Structure formats: C-alpha cells, structure tokens
C-alpha cells in the first residue's frame, strides 16, 4: 500500500515537472501570467436626472391642468346656482344629452392641454419612448382629470368655492407619490399599494411617468414591446387611467343625482336599483 502510494506520488510529481518545463520553457524560467478579460458587452449608463424626471413631469402636467379643472368646476356649479340646467331639462333636454355636451365642450380644452404638453415634453424627457405611448399617457390623464372634476362638482353649492377648493384637492391627491419614492427614485414592488393609489388620476399618471423616466435613464425608452415589463408596468398606469375615467364619470352621474345641495330634488341613494325593482313589483302586483 505504501509502495503504491509512493509510486502514485512520483507519477504526479513527474507529470507536474513535465508540464512546468513545457509551459515555462525549462531553465527555471517563470511561468506566463494567466489573466482574463470580461466578455465584450455594449456599454450602458444610467442618467440620474431621469430618476427625478418622472415626478417633475407629473408636477408640470398637473399644474397645467389646474386652471382647466377650476374652470370646469366653476362652470358646473354656476349653472347649478343659476338653475340653468333645470331650465334645460324642463325644456326637454335629456340628462344624457346634457352631460354629453358638457364632456365635449370642456373635454376639448383638456385634450388641447394634453396634446400640447406631450408635444413639448416628449422630445426632451421621453425621446427614446414610443411617441404614441407618451401621447396616450397624457391624453388618458387629461380625460381622467376631467371626470374627476365632474365628480367633485356635486359637493359644492358655490361656484367661487368650487374653483378654489377643487383644484387644491386635485393637487393634494398627487402628494401620495411621496410614499412610493426614496432618494428621488421610484420604489420597486408595493404593487397593491400602487394599484390602490392609482384609483386617483394624478397618482396613476405620476407612477406611469416615473416608470417611463426610468427607462429613459437607461437610454432605452418604453415601446409597445416593453410596455408590460416590470412589477407595475406602464400598461398598468394606462389601464388605471382608463378605469378612472369610467369610474369618476359614473360617480359624477350618481352624486349629481343624490346630492341636491339646495338645488332641485335629490333622488334616493338606491335609485340605481329601480330598474331591478319595478319588474318584481309588477310581478307581485299581477
């Protein structure tokens, strides 16, 4: 056993000596130094400015919509104060036609602000992103903000007060973004909290703009191919803005019916169920 171990050791030493002589060239020359190089990859960099660009863009667009929000609230409440709407409804105008005319007339101003803002901001802050995505984000935010203003109007009976308090409330909803920010950067994760906050149009836009800015910081941009990437992607913000538009439009219709504020007659909070009650009542009576 010992002899076999010694023979094995001699063979190993002879092999090492042969390799050393072959690599070093013999004569006691030093072995060549082994080193490695990283695999060639395209250089990448992240611009720290874009970590702050999302909230800054959100704040800028929010400020550009404060005046239209105030104008919508003032007009809606002033019509209610002057009882112009009641006169139109008594004259035969349908409630649906009345609200449609308001959406079209005031929506034009909001769409104009959205298109102008996207045209001015996109080339400098979202140069690598798909222009149609940038435009969709801005337009959906404008429409959701318009419906948000419609939902606020039934709470006011004074046009002047509505024009002051309404825009302030709209601005304060955006300050929840501080909960999802750390050192100027958008926090990863917290998907449920972000989804809940996105029920406010300003928050959905802030999160979407911040997500797009992070891609811009890596000189990539968001395209239709990458719009679904990430735990809370840009597509989620777009979907929530579309949901907010429908949600606040329905809420505006409901609140306008149940909150009279001294003008007209308030309907029952359960008036939405009348369509389901009447057939049953008729069947019971029969």
Least confident window among 86-90, 169-173, 222-226 = 86-90
DSSP H helical ranges for the chain: 2-24, 49-81, 84-90, 95-125, 131-152, 159-172, 191-197, 201-217, 234-258, 274-285
CA 245/CA 249 separation, integer angstroms:
6
CA 140/CA 51 separation, integer angstroms:
23
Task: Return the structure tokens found at 137.
Answer: 């984000």
- Mean of the per-residue pLDDT values of the chain: 79
CA 135/CA 114 separation, integer angstroms:
8
Instruction: Determine the average pLDDT of the residues in 43-47.
Output: 57
Instruction: Determine the average pLDDT of the residues in 111-121.
Output: 91
- pLDDT above 90 for 148: yes
If you average pLDDT over each of 166-170, 230-234, 260-264, which comes out highest?
Answer: 166-170
Binned at pLDDT 50, 70 and 90, residue 230 comes out as confident
- Please give the radius of gyration of the chain, using alpha carbons only, rounded to the nearest integer: 32
Helix (H, G, I), strand (E, B) or coil at 228: coil
Per-residue pLDDT reduced to its tens digit, 11-44? 767 776 766 666 555 555 555 555 565 666 555 5
DSSP state of 260: -
Binned at pLDDT 50, 70 and 90, residue 257 comes out as confident
* The pLDDT of residue 195: 92
CA 273/CA 15 separation, integer angstroms:
92
Contacts of 87 (CB under 8 A, 6+ apart): none
CA 284/CA 121 separation, integer angstroms:
62
Torsion of CA 182, 49, 134, 220, to 10 degrees: -100
Phi then psi dihedrals of residue 4, to 5 deg:
-65, -40
Q: What is the DSSP string of 177-195?
A: GGGGEETTEEPS--HHHHH
């Amino acid at each position: 056993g010992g002899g076999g171990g010694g023979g094995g050791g001699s063979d190993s030493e002879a092999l090492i000596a042969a390799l050393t002589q072959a690599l070093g060239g013999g004569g006691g020359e030093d072995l060549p130094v082994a080193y490695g190089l990283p695999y060639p990859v395209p250089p990448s960099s992240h611009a720290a400015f874009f970590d702050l660009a999302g909230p800054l863009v959100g704040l800028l667009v929010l400020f550009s919509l404060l005046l239209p929000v105030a104008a919508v609230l003032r007009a809606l409440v002033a019509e209610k104060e002057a009882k112009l709407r009641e006169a139109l409804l008594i004259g035969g105008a349908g409630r649906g036609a009345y609200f449609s005319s308001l959406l079209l007339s005031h929506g034009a101003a909001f769409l104009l602000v959205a298109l102008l803002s996207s045209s001015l901001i996109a080339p400098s802050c979202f140069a690598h992103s798909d222009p149609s995505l940038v435009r969709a984000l801005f337009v959906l935010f404008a429409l959701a903000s318009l419906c948000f203003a419609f939902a606020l109007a039934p709470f006011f009976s004074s046009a002047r007060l509505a024009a002051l308090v309404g825009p302030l409330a709209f601005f304060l909803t955006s300050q929840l973004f501080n909960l999802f920010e750390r050192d100027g950067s958008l926090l990863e994760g917290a998907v449920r909290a972000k989804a809940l906050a996105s029920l406010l149009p300003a928050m959905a836009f802030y999160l979407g703009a911040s997500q797009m800015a992070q891609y811009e910081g890596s000189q990539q941009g968001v395209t239709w191919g990458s719009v679904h990437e990430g735990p809370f992607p840009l597509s989620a913000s777009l979907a929530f803005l579309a949901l907010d538009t429908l949600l606040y439009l329905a809420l505006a219709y409901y609140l306008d019916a149940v909150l009279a504020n001294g003008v007209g007659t308030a309907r029952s909070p359960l008036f939405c169920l009348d369509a389901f009650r009447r057939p049953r009542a008729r069947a019971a009576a029969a």
